[in-house]
Structure 1
Amino acid sequence: MATAASKDASNRLELDIRPLTPVIGAEIHGVDLASPGITEQVPAIRAALLEYGVVFFRDQTLTQEQHIAFARHFGDLEIHPATPRKQPNREVLRIVHGPESRGSENAWHSDVTWREEPSLGSILLAREVPDVGGDTLFANMHAAYERLSPEMKRWCEGLTAVHDIARVFAKRLGKSVDELHEQYPPMRHPVIRTHPETGKRAIYVNTGFTSHIEGLADAESRWLLDRLYATASNPEVQCRFRWREGSMAFWDNRLTQHFAASDYYPARRAMDRVTIAGDRPFFDPEN
């Protein structure tokens, strides 16, 4: 009788998986994500996501409806507050930069950590890309955690950080901090979180949304956060993906951070993102 582990291994063998680095990222070839038969490959894709942190696909021609349908295989979907209310397919967040809008996602972050239940993952599809530039970098924050000293791990594992939507989106959405906090109050999450599926521990603070660490003086909080932020900048925990039209990236927000290089200005880059809802971060001291 086949075990669950052997079934997972069999599923992985059905996919043409090509790792990008030893610690994060893999391209999956020969898969049509718009195919009616994609349902049968979802368990293998999910297993690859958990193993590599981010998986990439090339030459995908999905409509927005097909993009949404593929994402629904992995859970309920979120609607981002930056999505226009009158837009059809509100599950799709369109991210466009060009001559009148320089890219502003060029800082290490994990998506929507200001939510009570931040996202499981995001699926980004390239609709239009510059001839050169606009790569996205991804960092494995479990690998970053493993590079901390034992004493630093023990200290950080007992700490809680505050994540605040207003740090990024007050200006972008044209709202006051108080307005945003009425709908999305600042959230407390562990500095080190336990992955709910793999049990791996990962650094869970980011430059975009983390405001401070509770219980520390302001100077102490800034000092520690700066050092934890810097762990994502180590090339040995990263991979880098060069986009082409029709390329798709699916990353695990519970494990990774990403950095969208904004080196292509004033060229145009247009991407569609669909985000899968997650659960509340936690730290398991026994795992």
Structure 2
Amino acid sequence: MKLKIGNHILLIFGAFIMIVPFLWMVSTSLKTFGESMQVPPTILPKEWKFENYAEVFESVNFVKYYINTIALTLGRTIAQLFLCSLAAFAFARLTFPFKNTIFIAILSVLMVPPQVILIPNYAILTQLGWIDTFYALIVPGMFSAFGVFLLRQFFMGIPKELDEAATMDGCSLFGIYWRIILPNATPALIALGIFTILAAWNDFLWPLVMTSSENMRVLSVGIAAFQGQYSTDYPLLMAGAVLSTIPMLIMFILFQKHLISGIALQGVRR
């Protein structure tokens, strides 16, 4: 009993540590500029300035940032779910030469920091003429080594007897993948989808380097524009951050059970 109470106290303390920065962000977004710079700082605004949220849309083309971010996120997520699941199906169900070697080579990509290949990727995209386009934002993120690994582990836990039964009924390999494997891998697909959405929505360095025009900015890069060289309008900055965070909070609240179940099931897959 004492151990359970101690665990709950520890979890509550950890949750408090995690939620305080978010609450401070919301509080700052409702302050005036002068109050946001006040020392010592105030926890709650003395004057609740909800106009900051409207001013965010007036100061920059925030709606365009939203549209670009949604397009980037949807493009990467849909492509990763399809391409990674196809590759995972091949590694989990098919037999071909050097299968394990190729799989290890794909996993080795996870050990390479993205910053290391940033300049070579920029050079390639420049040669293709894709800089400052949606091609540069979406295409390089359409495949994920982590996604292949995650789905392969899940696919290997689906009984192969289902494949054999489908083959006897005249189902093709793609039919097995589409009608047998994918419907039985919904938790893993949702988990990968959530991970991909979070990574794409919060991506900053890649869009910053690969785009240069105001018309191609995404939320992460657009919000950074509120930060000035000598002074920063923190209420506007925090208001923009709150507006960009809300969709991810709603998504996590709606799909948290699927995310947790998808991650938990990976621990029991062979």
Greater C-alpha radius of gyration: 2
Which TM class, normalised by the smaller chain length?
A: under 0.3
TM score, norm. by length of structure 1: 0.25
TM-score, normalised to structure 2's length?
A: 0.26
